[in-house]
Amino acid sequence: MNQLHHPHPGGNHIMQQNLALRRSTQLSSLLLVATIGVWISLTPHAFGLADAGACSTNPESRQLDYWLGDWKIGGPGASPGATSRVYLTLDECMVVESWDGGRGHKGENMFAYSLDDKSWHGMFADNQGRVHVFVDGKVIRGCAEFSGPSRGANGDTVLKSSPYRPY
């Protein structure tokens, strides 16, 4: 009679343990994938995040839409020497102005309406190292005004205020 020879004592027991471990690992992996799927679907609600598209339907977020487009800018009686392109990004939640003031001076302005504090916020940055953060903005009848602390040439804190009106 032929006998099955196990090279290691208790080899059958080891095979059963390996099979049980593989099944346990597969079940753990399945539970992990299911947990991640549930977490991803609930995360926006758990953290109170706004729905995608909330900005596109919120009237306050649309207050700067008059400004969207491509603009040529010049002073009274002068030919336009500067250009501005204003567009929406981040699911229509942020207004960005990319401008070229001529003679190499360029910059970007970014503005967004906060559903949390019901105010406009923004930032101005140019290629000459100037940055201004606007923490309190209001838009009334097509005129936007943003203000916030900034640093003057001597390092003192000053209140920077910038009105934005249709060109």
**62, 106: one domain:** yes
If you average pLDDT over residues 50-74, what whole number do you get?
85
Tell me the pLDDT tens digit for each residue of 110-144: 999 999 989 999 999 999 998 888 888 888 877 88
**30, 104: one domain:** no
**144, 64: one domain:** yes
Q: Assess whether pLDDT exceeds 90 at residue 150.
A: no
**21, 58: one domain:** no
**85, 144: one domain:** yes
**67, 18: one domain:** no
pLDDT score, position 113: 94
**160, 100: one domain:** yes
**38, 76: one domain:** no
Residue numbers of the domain that contains 33: 1-49
∠ CA(87), CA(114), CA(65), 5° rounding? 30
149 CB neighbour count, 10 Å cutoff: 12
Total structural domains within the chain: 2
**40, 16: one domain:** yes
Tell me the pLDDT tens digit for each residue of 33-50: 555 655 565 555 455 555
**67, 122: one domain:** yes
Tell me the pLDDT tens digit for each residue of 80-113: 789 999 999 999 999 999 999 888 999 999 999 9
Q: Assess whether pLDDT exceeds 70 at residue 78.
A: no
**Closest by CA position to 95, among listed 107, 115, 111:** 111
**20, 76: one domain:** no
